[in-house]
């Protein structure tokens, strides 16, 4: 067993493709054939999924605040780029809202179908977050 | 005295901990509980007498913290079925009756204390949720087994 010096790959996998959206655990619980355990499973998975969506929303808001802070200091903003980033932010927030409602109404069984969508959303967030910081800083450095 | 590179020393302490202590503990859940028990409730600092005797206290604490986080990540990424097995191994190794341990765990939820500091919130919630489910599954399983065992005897 060796220590992980960076973020663990298992953590990254969990974050980008949450296991609570997968059908594997549900099939195991379903196979037990007990209604009360199945009900408990659905309730628990719903709660975890909602925590995850709230976490994603908070991450997007934080990234947007950080970007706004950097953008305010930048002397050479590209209006079209800023509009595009803001549109992405609004889209992601809207998707998180829709996802929250879907989780609360449709239940964990339907969430399995949303798993790929959620994964794409997560990857998009990471991509957008990555594109926030460097661009304005490079521009600022170029004008220093 | 010249100390070796700090990270190398933490790795050495980690290896020592893995080899001497963790390898003797059966199951990831038992390892997690063991590592969490080396953390002081008030200060959040880790301490292990054996490790502290061989390494600097700070280095030993970092190795324990690292091991705690690693074991948690391993167990949190497991499927529910695997976690049920882990809980079963842990419960079976206890000198108390299985039913008693399960009942206390459901009431007191001591596994919440086993979470490392600053862990991903959703992952922590998933772990707690999966343990709850595993306990409920095992209690039901054992209740079903009781009449079968009684009729055999």
Structure tokens of B61? 């604490």
pLDDT score, position B68: 97
More confident residue, B86 or A60: B86
Residue B122 lies in a domain: yes
Count of beta carbons in the 10 Å neighbourhood of residue B24? 9
The answer on pLDDT for A5 being more than 60 is no
Q: What was the pLDDT predicted at B73? A: 92
Alpha-carbon distance B129 to nearest alpha carbon in chain A (angstroms): 6
**Residue span of the structural domain in which B31 resides:** 6-152
* Residue A48 predicted with pLDDT over 80: yes
A25–chain B nearest CA distance, Å = 6
Q: What is the pLDDT of residue A127?
A: 66
A21-35 per-position pLDDT tens digit: 677 898 999 999 899
Q: In this model, does residue A83 exceed pLDDT 70?
A: yes
Residue B1 lies in a domain: no
Q: Is the pLDDT of residue A13 over 50?
A: no
What contacts 24+ positions apart, CB below 8 Å, involve A95-104? A95/A121, A96/A53, A96/A56, A96/A57, A96/A60, A96/A121, A99/A53, A100/A50, A100/A53, A100/A54, A103/A46, A103/A49, A103/A50, A103/A53, A104/A46, A104/A50
pLDDT single digits (tens) A88-98: 788 878 888 88
Q: What is the pLDDT of residue A141?
A: 39
Token pair belonging to A70:
């950097």
- Is residue A58 within 8 angstroms of chain B, CB to CB? no
| Region of residue B128 (left: phi > 0; alpha: psi -120 to 50; beta: else) | alpha
Once rounded to an integer, what is the mean pLDDT over residues A68-89?
81
Domain ranges of chain A: 19-143
Number of domains in chain B: 1
Mean pLDDT of A53-61: 83
Residue B80 lies in a domain: yes
Given a cut of 80, whether residue A75 has pLDDT beyond it is no
- Two tokens at B28? 């990831």
| B72 touches B32 (CB < 8 A) | yes
Contact A29 B133 (CB under 8 A): yes
pLDDT in tens, A90-120: 887 888 888 888 888 887 567 655 656 655 6
Q: What is the mean pLDDT of each run of 10 residues along chain B (153 residues)?
A: 60 93 93 96 93 91 96 92 95 90 94 93 92 96 77 64
pLDDT for position B2: 47
Chain A interface mutation, best of B35, B87, B127, B133, highest count of A Cβ atoms under 10 Å:
B133
| The pLDDT value given to residue A116 | 61
């Amino acid at each position: 067993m060796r220590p992980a010096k960076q973020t663990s790959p298992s953590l990254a996998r969990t974050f980008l493709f949450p296991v609570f959206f997968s059908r594997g655990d549900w099939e195991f619980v379903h196979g037990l054939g007990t209604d009360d355990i199945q009900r408990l499973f659905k309730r628990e998975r719903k709660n975890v999924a909602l925590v995850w969506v709230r976490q994603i929303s908070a991450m997007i808001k934080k990234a947007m605040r950080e970007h706004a802070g950097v953008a305010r200091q930048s002397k050479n903003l590209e209006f079209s780029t800023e509009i595009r980033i803001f549109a992405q932010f609004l889209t992601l927030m809207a998707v998180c809202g829709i996802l929250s409602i879907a989780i609360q109404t449709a239940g964990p069984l339907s969430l399995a179908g949303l798993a790929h969508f959620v994964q794409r959303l997560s990857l998009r967030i990471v991509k957008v977050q990555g594109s926030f910081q460097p661009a304005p800083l490079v521009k600022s450095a170029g004008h220093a | 005295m010249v100390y070796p590179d700090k990270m190398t020393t933490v790795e050495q302490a980690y290896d020592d901990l893995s080899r001497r202590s963790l390898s003797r503990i059966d199951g990831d859940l038992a390892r997690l509980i063991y590592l969490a028990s080396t953390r002081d409730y008030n200060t959040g600092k880790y301490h292990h007498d054996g490790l502290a005797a061989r390494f600097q206290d700070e280095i030993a604490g970092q190795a324990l913290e690292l091991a705690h986080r690693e074991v948690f990540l391993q167990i949190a990424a497991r499927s529910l079925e695997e976690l049920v097995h882990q809980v079963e191994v842990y419960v079976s190794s206890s000198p108390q009756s299985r039913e008693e341990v399960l009942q206390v765990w459901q009431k007191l939820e001591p596994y919440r204390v086993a979470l490392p500091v600053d862990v991903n919130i959703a992952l922590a919630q998933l772990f707690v949720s999966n343990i709850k489910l595993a306990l409920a599954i095992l209690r039901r399983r054992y209740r079903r087994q009781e009449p079968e065992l009684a009729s055999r005897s």
